[in-house]
Amino acid sequence: MEKLVLKKPLEYEGKKYEELQYDLDKLTGDDLLTAEATVNNAGMLAPVIDLSKAYQAAVFARAAKIEFPMMRKLSAKDFTEATATVMAFFGE
Protein backbone atom coordinates (compact mmCIF):
# COMPACT_ATOMS: atom_id res chain seq x y z
CA MET A 1 0.00 0.00 0.00
CA GLU A 2 1.28 3.43 -0.91
CA LYS A 3 0.39 6.81 0.49
CA LEU A 4 -0.14 10.31 -0.77
CA VAL A 5 1.09 12.82 1.80
CA LEU A 6 -1.18 15.83 1.50
CA LYS A 7 0.52 19.18 1.07
CA LYS A 8 -2.57 20.78 2.58
CA PRO A 9 -4.30 18.60 5.22
CA LEU A 10 -8.02 18.18 4.67
CA GLU A 11 -10.90 18.08 7.14
CA TYR A 12 -13.76 16.02 5.79
CA GLU A 13 -16.84 14.97 7.71
CA GLY A 14 -15.21 15.74 11.04
CA LYS A 15 -11.97 13.88 10.37
CA LYS A 16 -8.59 15.41 9.54
CA TYR A 17 -6.55 13.77 6.78
CA GLU A 18 -2.83 14.38 6.40
CA GLU A 19 -2.26 11.46 4.06
CA LEU A 20 -4.27 9.04 1.96
CA GLN A 21 -3.26 5.41 1.70
CA TYR A 22 -4.10 3.78 -1.61
CA ASP A 23 -3.48 0.57 -3.56
CA LEU A 24 -3.99 0.85 -7.29
CA ASP A 25 -2.73 -2.72 -7.85
CA LYS A 26 -5.76 -4.14 -6.02
CA LEU A 27 -8.28 -2.47 -8.30
CA THR A 28 -10.40 -4.64 -10.57
CA GLY A 29 -12.35 -4.04 -13.73
CA ASP A 30 -15.42 -3.66 -11.55
CA ASP A 31 -13.70 -0.81 -9.68
CA LEU A 32 -12.98 0.96 -12.97
CA LEU A 33 -16.55 0.54 -14.19
CA THR A 34 -17.85 1.83 -10.85
CA ALA A 35 -15.53 4.84 -11.11
CA GLU A 36 -16.81 5.51 -14.63
CA ALA A 37 -20.42 5.25 -13.47
CA THR A 38 -19.68 7.62 -10.57
CA VAL A 39 -18.36 10.22 -12.99
CA ASN A 40 -21.22 9.76 -15.45
CA ASN A 41 -23.83 9.96 -12.67
CA ALA A 42 -22.25 13.24 -11.55
CA GLY A 43 -22.84 14.59 -15.07
CA MET A 44 -19.13 14.78 -15.90
CA LEU A 45 -19.02 13.13 -19.30
CA ALA A 46 -15.73 12.93 -21.18
CA PRO A 47 -15.09 11.80 -24.76
CA VAL A 48 -12.03 9.81 -23.66
CA ILE A 49 -12.77 8.63 -20.11
CA ASP A 50 -9.17 7.61 -19.31
CA LEU A 51 -8.02 11.22 -19.85
CA SER A 52 -10.71 12.71 -17.63
CA LYS A 53 -9.47 14.20 -14.34
CA ALA A 54 -12.86 13.35 -12.82
CA TYR A 55 -12.45 9.69 -13.81
CA GLN A 56 -8.88 9.59 -12.52
CA ALA A 57 -10.10 11.12 -9.24
CA ALA A 58 -12.87 8.51 -9.00
CA VAL A 59 -10.33 5.73 -9.60
CA PHE A 60 -8.02 7.16 -6.92
CA ALA A 61 -10.97 7.37 -4.53
CA ARG A 62 -11.68 3.66 -5.11
CA ALA A 63 -7.99 2.81 -4.55
CA ALA A 64 -7.91 4.90 -1.35
CA LYS A 65 -11.30 3.62 -0.16
CA ILE A 66 -12.69 7.13 0.23
CA GLU A 67 -15.76 8.85 -1.18
CA PHE A 68 -15.50 10.59 -4.56
CA PRO A 69 -16.88 13.87 -3.10
CA MET A 70 -13.91 13.94 -0.72
CA MET A 71 -11.54 13.99 -3.69
CA ARG A 72 -13.21 17.18 -4.86
CA LYS A 73 -12.30 18.87 -1.58
CA LEU A 74 -8.55 18.24 -1.89
CA SER A 75 -6.30 21.21 -2.61
CA ALA A 76 -5.50 21.69 -6.29
CA LYS A 77 -1.94 20.40 -5.81
CA ASP A 78 -3.05 17.30 -3.89
CA PHE A 79 -5.85 16.61 -6.37
CA THR A 80 -3.43 16.93 -9.27
CA GLU A 81 -0.89 14.64 -7.61
CA ALA A 82 -3.59 12.02 -7.01
CA THR A 83 -4.86 12.14 -10.59
CA ALA A 84 -1.32 12.14 -12.01
CA THR A 85 -0.60 9.04 -9.94
CA VAL A 86 -3.53 7.25 -11.58
CA MET A 87 -2.50 8.42 -15.05
CA ALA A 88 1.06 7.16 -14.49
CA PHE A 89 -0.29 3.83 -13.22
CA PHE A 90 -2.33 3.36 -16.40
CA GLY A 91 0.69 4.33 -18.48
CA GLU A 92 2.94 1.61 -17.05
pLDDT digits (tens, 9 = 90+) for 8-30: 999 999 999 999 999 999 999 99
DSSP 15: E
- Any bridge partners for residue 10, and if so which? 17
Average pLDDT across the chain, whole number: 94
Residue 61 has pLDDT above 90, yes or no: yes
Residue 23: how many other CB atoms lie within 10 Å? 13
pLDDT of residue 45 exceeding 80: no
pTM of the shown model = 0.93
Biggest CA-to-CA distance, the chain: 36
Q: What is the pLDDT of residue 48?
A: 81
Residue ranges per domain, the chain? 2-91
Provide the H-helix boundaries in 1-92: 29-41, 53-64, 68-71, 76-91
Q: pLDDT-derived band of residue 49, with 50, 70 and 90 as boundaries? A: confident
